[in-house]
Amino acid sequence: MRGNYWILIVVAALGWGSGGIMTRAAFAEGVDVWTLVALRVAIAALLVLVGLIARRSPLPSMLVLRHGFSQAVFNLTIPYVLFTFAYAEASAGFVGLLAALIPLATSVFANFMLPNESMTLRRFIALLVGFSGVAALMLSGDSGLAEGGRPLVAIGLGLASVVSVGYAGAFAKKHAGSYDPMMLTGLQFGFASVWLLGAMFAIEGAPLDISVNGWWLILGLAIAATVVPFLVFYRLLQHISVTNASLVGYIVPFVGLIGGIVLLDEQLQSGIIAGGTLVAVGMFLSDRESRRTPSTVSYQPTPLN
């Protein structure tokens, strides 16, 4: 694989992996959950809309609109909201490890939704190993924070997000070929921004008291942690195999883990080390199985945090 593709892989991983770090930094600036999620998604929707207009994309069909609505619910709204709440209860590295389970959850739904992606014994073992890492996190009681934190709440929110994104990924694979990926991305951001902005105004009010640093972090989340990694990943898929592009998933959790420790003074605790190791082994086993039995269906990237 050429060096410039490795650069794109690292750029996508840094973008998605930095999402948790910027989210926790925004909390420190006093930005509330619904405001953070709504503004992040709305700004991303505007940027993707500009891109669609610039490339003169045709209007979507009713089928693509339905797909976009479904993805807006399961691939964006549920995971973005729940993961953001999870970051209020545990460290960026802790929650990032939960997000690493998304490919494993997708394989479960693919077993029932896609005829050519049945659950193999090796993939089932990878699933057990990965989720044993979650059990290790639960038993340890570690949250990755120096003080406070509710790791069990973070795990519950994170796992619900993983299940939602897993279903969305299998759904997108099932209907691959019936939509333009950038159009689908724009539709899910557009639909989600409507009800998320409504929720923001109803629950937290107008965002009138956000600090300058808070706005910079929101812009960073919208651009660097949302739009850029999506577009970079789509570019990768045009030039390299799905299997090679999936290497992004290996890097993302460690960006959140290392970045949280260095930038936010988060803790690398024994439970996170044990759980993270098991999750990483599960990801590795799943990836080996994917390379042994490659899917013939194109891949739809999902938000990692």
Task: Cite the DSSP H helix spans in 141-180.
Answer: 151-174
Is 302 inside any structural domain? no
Q: CA–CA separation, 202 vs 34, rounded Å?
A: 10
Is 298 inside any structural domain? no
Token duo for residue 263: 């930038």
Is 32 inside any structural domain? yes
Token duo for residue 114: 């896609």
Q: Tell me the residue range of the domain where 36 lies.
A: 3-292
Please answer whether residues 137 and 97 qualify as being in contact, where contact means their C-beta atoms are separated by less than 8 angstroms. Answer: yes
Pick the residue with more confidence: 39 or 242? 39
Closest CA to 97 of 271, 294, 215, 232: 271
pTM, rounded to two decimals: 0.85
Is 278 inside any structural domain? yes
- Tell me what pLDDT residue 242 has: 52
Is 176 inside any structural domain? yes
Pick the residue with more confidence: 187 or 141? 187
Is 66 inside any structural domain? yes
Token duo for residue 38: 């709504």
Amino acid at 206: A
Question: Which tens digit of pLDDT belongs to each residue from 48-63?
Answer: 999 899 989 899 999 9
Token duo for residue 259: 């970045």
DSSP 18-40: HHHHHHHHHHHTT--HHHHHHHH
Number of domains comprising the chain: 1
Q: CA–CA separation, 229 vs 252, rounded Å?
A: 11
Question: Which tens digit of pLDDT belongs to each residue from 98-123?
Answer: 887 887 788 788 888 877 777 778 87
